[in-house]
Amino acid sequence: MNKRLKRRANILYRLRKKGVRCVTRERVIFYPYGKDPMAVVQIVRLCREFGFGVQLEIE
């Protein structure tokens, strides 16, 4: 496996363990409204390195 793909899979795994929903094919991270998504290190890394976007959702 490519190092870059392995890194992305590892970051997604850690983020999903925290209960955050992610759609890999669409490169979207769904995060609860009212909280700061940029306070989570994994979200910042996915946005900067892999072009993911953050969609706030109402729970």
pLDDT digits (tens, 9 = 90+) for 10-46: 999 999 999 999 999 999 999 999 999 999 999 999 9
Residue 1 has pLDDT above 90, yes or no: no
Closest to 29 (Cα-Cα) out of 14, 46, 13: 46
How many beta carbons lie within 10 A of that of residue 30, not counting itself? Answer: 13
Residue 39: per-residue pLDDT: 96
Which range marks the domain in which residue 22 is found? 3-57
Domain count, the chain: 1
Q: Which amino acid is at 9?
A: A
Contacts of 28 (CB under 8 A, 6+ apart): 22, 52, 53, 54, 55
Which comes out higher in pLDDT, residue 1 or 32? Answer: 32
Which comes out higher in pLDDT, residue 59 or 53? Answer: 53
DSSP 39: G
Residue 37: per-residue pLDDT: 96
- What's the pTM value of the predicted model, to 2 decimals? 0.91
